[in-house]
Amino acid sequence: MLYYFLFSFALAMDPVPKNIPALLTSDLIENSNDQDWRDVAQKDLIYLQLETGLVLIELNEAFAPKHLLNIKQLAENKYWDNQRISRVQDNYVVQWGGNSEDKTKLKNVKPKLKGEYYSTKIDDSTITSLDDKDVYTKYVGFLNGFPVGHYGNKTWMIHCYGALGVGRDEAFDSGNGAELYTVIGHSPRHLDLNITLVGRVRHGIEHLSSLPRGLGPMGFYKDKNKGMVIKSLRVGTQLPRRQQKFLQVLRTDTPLFKQLIGARKFRQESWFHYRSGRASICNIPLPVRFK
Amino acid sequence: MLYYFLFSFALAMDPVPKNIPALLTSDLIENSNDQDWRDVAQKDLIYLQLETGLVLIELNEAFAPKHLLNIKQLAENKYWDNQRISRVQDNYVVQWGGNSEDKTKLKNVKPKLKGEYYSTKIDDSTITSLDDKDVYTKYVGFLNGFPVGHYGNKTWMIHCYGALGVGRDEAFDSGNGAELYTVIGHSPRHLDLNITLVGRVRHGIEHLSSLPRGLGPMGFYKDKNKGMVIKSLRVGTQLPRRQQKFLQVLRTDTPLFKQLIGARKFRQESWFHYRSGRASICNIPLPVRFK
């Protein structure tokens, strides 16, 4: 392993170790082996088919089981099909759903769910820690591919770019999964622990993030007919096999992923003149590939 | 002044003060007076006129005077007029310029400039500190409306959403202001101190952030003729008065702005169930208004 002497990183911060492995993210991915990747299960994969392309979102079973049941049932009921994106607020969120009272589409769907904002059942030794400060909480890291915060006995998902959350009104039990949003801007961490997060976009987020911004208050479209049409929203297990995509994400509980975190903290690409030695939780990408 | 007891903010972090002023950002703005605002000088205001709308960008005189001279001269020479946006990389940057070797458009423009990554001339007592941790550096705050980092005798602008920077190749002196980019995603803080930042978008960033993403490497458009056309790029002083916009930004050296920071840390809107008591530097918006 090569070591690289970095003279500059004390510029903006307290001293950090001086001998840093010279790793490039691209090399790490290229040299990864199959055990460094995991399949995204079809039961956890949302296919959001827009007129302009397919968005693939991985659901996280660990935090919001009741909301996931509702979301899968709503997808089964074709609840969102032919609805339109209702809200695109710049540097914030894209939002859809929540407006239909069509009984057939709400079959077997719980009308109200208490917020599932965090879990007390996560063993923190299973979190790959970032070993860095965080502005908003004490410990941050990755749990099975998802960025999480941890403090005391509580663990929760973090609002990074691409996070999928459940819209709600003021009351704790006013969301049920029918209204969903995805983060398309700087991480709105003030939403953490305020809302039920259920997953993260793994592929195709540009079909959401490049949508025309809504011109009404909070980025809602003034003309509801201007929103992009959702052709369909399904979970993978609800699709015929020929329509399924076989997506893999880099495992986050491996030595390789720890190296990738290091490579993000100390950018070895020759373009960089200064390496901070730090990374924020939302500035660590999760590599994906198709099988 | 009302005080509001918040029982929940110790959930995710070390304890913070329990008696927090119950301020709403919207109330603060509504109750502001004219002394809380400052005019954006026409000499510091870039008018980036796209086919779809106008983007207004404030230049910051404090950090990169040589680059600002070049940029103003390039605008005077109509360097960017009728060029196209060349790069739109999702969750990262929109970029334009840097490709023309037309001599008439490079008149009085320095072909190379050393990077102006930071200043050693800033009195840190003039920075409105965020008084919060930062992942990447020791001190962060606002200086005359711009988010900055500070450590030792160095102060530099931070890559928040909307930051305007100067593209460069590998060498320290390989940028001159002809190639520019704006951040349209999660703050790429690893670029801090690696690049010359010159300003920040104050109005109309949605005309950049909603552009179709480039499908080539690093988000460059494969077909260069697909990029949005820049009708013109001028500094305010180069425009007839009837075309000038009179923009004001909230001053960041006032008691009101400190209250606004507090309101962002402790969101008093009744929608919030949890207030972290913290805010990251890129999650504090700078209100603007037209006179």
Q: What is the pLDDT of residues A32-82, one digit of tens each?
A: 999 999 999 999 999 999 999 999 999 999 999 999 999 999 999 999 999
pLDDT, position A131: 85
| pLDDT score recorded for residue B59 | 98
| Mean pLDDT calculated for residue range A180-193 | 98
Residue from B273, B281, B284 whose CB has the most chain A CBs within 10 Å, to mutate: B273
Instruction: Give yes or no for residue A8 having a pLDDT over 50.
Output: no
- When scoring B8, B193, B213 by the number of chain A Cβ atoms within 10 A, the one with the most, hence best to mutate, is B193
**Cβ-nearest to B136 among A12, A90, A192:** A12
pLDDT (0 to 100) of residue A4: 38
Beta-carbon separation of A12 and B213 below 8 A: no
Residue A213 with chain B: CB contacts under 8 Å: 206, 209-210
CB B154 to CB A91 under 8 A?
Answer: no
What is the average per-residue pLDDT within B71-82? 98
Per-residue pLDDT at A227 exceeds 90 = yes
Say yes or no for a CB contact (<8 Å) between A136 and B278: yes
Output the pLDDT for position A132. Answer: 83
Note whether ipTM > 0.90 here. Answer: yes
Q: What is the pLDDT of residue A3?
A: 36
Q: Do A190 and B283 touch (CB under 8 A)?
A: yes
The mean pLDDT of B51-68, rounded to a whole number, is 97
Q: What is the pTM of this model?
A: 0.94
Per-chain mean pLDDT for chain A:
92
Contact B190 A91 (CB under 8 A): no
Q: What is the mean pLDDT of chain B?
A: 92
pLDDT of residue A5: 37
| Residue B101's pLDDT band (cuts 50, 70, 90) | confident
pLDDT band at A23 (very low <50, low <70, confident <90, very high): confident
pLDDT above 80: residue B9: no
3-state per-residue secondary structure call for chain B: CCEEECCCCCCCCCCCCCEEECCCHHHHHHCCCHHHEEECCHHHEEEEEECCEEEEEEECCCCCHHHHHHHHHHHHCCCCCCCEEEEECCCCEEEEECCCCCHHHHCCCCCCECCCCCECCCCHHHCEECCCCCCCCCEEEEECCEEEEEECCEEEECCCCCEEEECCCCCCCCECCCEEEEECCCCCHHHCCCCCEEEEEEECCHHHHCCCCCCCHHHECCCHHHCCEEEEEEEHHHCCHHHCCCEEEECCCCHHHHHHHHHHHCCCCCCCCCCCCCCCHHHCCCCEEEC
pLDDT at A147: 98
Q: What is the pLDDT of residues B141-151, one digit of tens each?
A: 999 999 999 99
Please indicate whether, in this complex, the C-beta atoms of A154 and B274 are within 8 angstroms of each other.
no
